[in-house]
A = this chain, B = another copy of it.
Amino acid sequence: MNLRVRFAETDQMGVAHHSAYIIWFEAARVEWLRARGLDYRRLEAGGVSLAVSAISVQYHRSSRFDDELHVAATLTELRSRRVRYRYLISRDDEEIATGDSLHTPIDASGRVIRLPSVWLGALQKHVMT
């Protein structure tokens, strides 16, 4: 997905604050699903959330207000209790940041559950290791 760095996302160093990247990763996951005909709202409506259990970001270059960034998400691991994405944020040909997020399927009360098999099946063909 593409996005513009918002003014509110900058900090007094004149660059996008490092916490914004986490939010861009999340937005990219949602768009990644949509591009494959899947809808994260529908997953949640069915009582399943993909809680974030770990995240990491490596910041290679700073990004600035109004920069147009591309955020690529890749599903790198898919198991019934463990989903992993990798990210690459770029601006034109420059690598801005990379990252990784690990997710655990939980139900509405926060308990760890197995990802429903219909979702496992729909996602399986999109795993890229």
How many chain copies does the complex carry?
4
Interface stretch of the complex, out of A5-13, A80-88, A116-124: A5-13
The 4 closest A-B pairs by CB, nearest first: A56-B56, A10-B12, A19-B22, A18-B52
Contacts of A18 in B (CB 8 A): 22, 52, 55
Count chain A residues whose beta carbon lies closer than 8 angstroms to a beta carbon of B.
Answer: 37
Specify the chain B residue showing the minimal Cβ separation from A106: B13
Give residues 30-53 of A contacting B (CB, 8 Å): 30, 39-41, 44, 49, 51-53
A78 to chain B, nearest CB (A): 20
Contact of B12 with A26 in the complex, beta carbons under 8 Å: no
How distant is the Cα of A15 from the Cα of B14 in the complex, in angstroms? 11
Query: Can you list 25 A-B contacts with CB-CB less than 8 angstroms, sorted by A residue number?
Result: A4-B27, A4-B30, A7-B30, A7-B40, A8-B11, A8-B17, A8-B19, A8-B22, A8-B23, A12-B13, A12-B15, A12-B65, A13-B49, A18-B52, A19-B22, A19-B26, A22-B22, A40-B66, A41-B66, A51-B59, A53-B58, A54-B57, A54-B58, A56-B57, A62-B110
